[in-house]
Amino acid sequence: MTRKEKREIISENNFFGEFLIIKNHFFKKLFEQLKNVKDIRQIGKVIYTPDILLFTMIMKNCCSITTMNEMKNEFNTNNSVENIAKAMDYEELENLPHYDTINNFLKKLENYQLEKIRKYMIKELLKKRSLEHYRYNNKYWTIAIDATGMFSFNKKHCEHCLKRTFKNKETGEIERVEYYHNVLEAKLIIGDMVFSIETEFIENEHEDIEKQDCELKAFSRLAKRLKKEYPKLPICILGDSLYACDRTFEICKENRWKYILRFKEGSIPSIAKEFKTIQKIEPKELKIEQKLERVEITKLYKYVNEIDYCNKKINIVECKEQILNKKDGKETENTFVFITDIEISEKKVEKIVAAGRSRWKIENEAFNNQKNISYDIEHACCLDYNAMKNHYLLIQIADILKQLFEKGVKVLRILKLGKKEISSILKDHLRQVPLIIEDISTGRIQIRDL
């Protein structure tokens, strides 16, 4: 497809309208949810209702606008104001809210109000029969767990900051102190899409605490909330080697969840030793070869079931993957080891490893995209800690909509545009192309892997 053909296709479509079609198809009551957010501002002084404030922020994020000042400038067009007013069924809207108004609102907004909106969205998605085939073994929804950094400061930001001290290796003297905020995410993996389903901020209760908060402590808290919010949801937890420990095993057992976790010898040496010993005595292996146009892939699976550990039965699988490049003859080799409570067999081994390896999507499709491509989550749009958390949660809500927009609009699949290009087009059409409400219909939406 030529550049001219792409331009013509883009000009023939209204992508803000397409965005609203996606919103209406998956989340018909989203605006109602936004409007029902508890507002503790003084009634007589309120100009903008919560739904306008929050949807303005959602569109800021979906358009990959990273700063509040940039949002103010980009959305300061008649079409931006009129399009958002039409989308939300407001007869008259003179301006979109100023970022100070939004931040003052987010400073006082309780985080659980936004978590309720995300929960509504996730539950609506789980109802969709079109997503059922993404379950592991036609039963379990795979949820990847991982932490990432949000903000860092040279000086103490607030009493909830985590603290890291850097010392000179030779003298032992303190060179600098870093204060930072991290967050633990539970991401629902739906093919190539990764949706935030639960968030736990890693934070100290107060500045004088003896032992800092950490990722595993946060996981215990996150797991309780995840079970409370989705008590009957069949879940398979995916995690890196940090989670290959008894704490995780116990949490999954109590909640009746399955788990597939990356495993390193240093995590639990006794299990690693027993795996090697049993493999020598009673080897269980499966070799699979694939001959493709450009590469030849050989995978050797080795696995052992029912290794005893702390009154539990643990299963381990190792996958050695060799990739031969036919063009240059170069060969690469990778080894992946996973620990799981799912019984491993020749029929299951490939799916177990594939599910375990899909954990990397939380790092690439989720964290890398949110930091370096679409949202710049490390940029603080407000220095108030509560507002910072609400900004982060709004990004997670926007990201659900954005991913469905990217996958659900047929024209975007044909154009094969990058995430930044899609955001730019959405922004341009919101700012410049008048919205015709009659064109927004809830036609059939089809989500596909690209």
* Domain boundaries of the chain, sorted by first residue: 3-116+385-439, 263-347
Per the document, the length of the chain is 450
Residue 448 has pLDDT above 70, yes or no: no
* Separation CA 387–CA 158 (nearest Å): 13
Mean pLDDT of the chain: 93
Q: Which two tokens stand for residue 132?
A: 């059922």
Sign of the Cα pseudo-torsion (271, 276, 277, 279, in order)? positive
CB atoms within 10 A of CB 22: 21
What does the pLDDT read at residue 62? 97
Mean pLDDT of 299-317: 95
DSSP 93: -
32-46, 50-64, 320-334: range with lowest mean pLDDT: 32-46
Burial (Cβ within 10 Å: 0-12, 13-18, ≥19) of residue 237: buried
220's tokens: 């215990």
**CA-to-CA distance for 139 and 205, rounded, in angstroms?**
38
Cβ atoms 218, 202 nearer than 8 A: yes
Q: Looking up tokens 């052992």, which residue turns up?
A: 304
Report pLDDT for 113: 97
Residue range 243-271: mean pLDDT, rounded: 95
405 in Cβ contact with 22 (< 8 Å): yes
What confidence tier does 12 reach under pLDDT thresholds 50, 70, 90?
A: confident
Residues contacting 418, CB < 8 A, separation 6+: none
The DSSP element (H or E) to which 399 belongs, if any, is helix 385-408
Q: What is the pLDDT of residue 449?
A: 41
Closest CA to 238 of 202, 183, 309, 189: 189
What tens digit of pLDDT does each residue of 125-141 get? 999 887 899 999 999 99
Exposed / middle / buried, residue 12 (Cβ in 10 Å: 0-12, 13-18, 19+): exposed
CA pair distance 338, 321, nearest whole angstrom: 14
CB count within 10 Å of CB 401 equals 20
Q: In terms of pLDDT, which residue wins out, 75 or 207?
A: 75
Decide if 201 contacts 225 (C-beta within 8 A): no
Partners of 302 in beta bridges: 285, 318
Distances in whole angstroms, Cα of residue 109 to Cα of each of 48, 326, 395: 14, 57, 15
- pLDDT band of 380, cuts 50, 70, 90: very high
Closest of 58, 111, 60, 148 to residue 371, by C-alpha? 148
More confident residue, 390 or 12: 390
Contacts by 405-408 with C-beta closer than 8 Å and gap 24+? Answer: 405/18, 405/19, 405/22, 405/62, 407/192, 407/193, 407/447, 407/448, 407/450, 408/22, 408/25, 408/445, 408/446, 408/447
First to last CA, the chain: 17
Written in H, E and C, the secondary structure of 199-213 is EEEECCCCCCCCCCC
Q: Determine the Cα–Cα distance for residues 257 and 269; give it in Å rounded to an integer.
A: 24
Alpha-carbon span 176 to 167, nearest angstrom:
7
Q: Is the dihedral of CA 367, 67, 434, 96 positive or negative?
A: positive
Between 61 and 129, whose confidence is greater?
61
Pairing of strands 312-325, 331-340: antiparallel
pLDDT of residue 447: 58
Q: How do residues 75-97 score in pLDDT, each as one tens digit?
A: 999 999 999 999 999 988 999 99
CA neighbor of 244 nearest in space, from 267, 213, 211, 212 = 267
User: Could you read off the pLDDT of 342-373 as tens digits, one per residue?
Assistant: 999 999 999 999 999 999 999 988 999 999 99
Alpha carbons 366 and 30: distance in angstroms, whole number: 22
Residue 450's pLDDT is what? Answer: 35
Query: What single string gives the DSSP state of each residue in 215-273?
Result: HHHHHHHHHHHHHHHSTT--EEEEE-GGG-SHHHHHHHHHHT-EEEEE--TTT-HHHHH
CA angle (421 as vertex; 23, 84 as ends), nearest 5 = 40
**Which residues, in sequence order, are CB contacts of 114 under 8 Å at separation 6+?**
37, 54, 390, 393, 394, 397
The DSSP 8-state label assigned to residue 97 in this structure reads: P
- pLDDT by residue (tens digit) across 322-343? 999 988 889 999 999 999 999 9
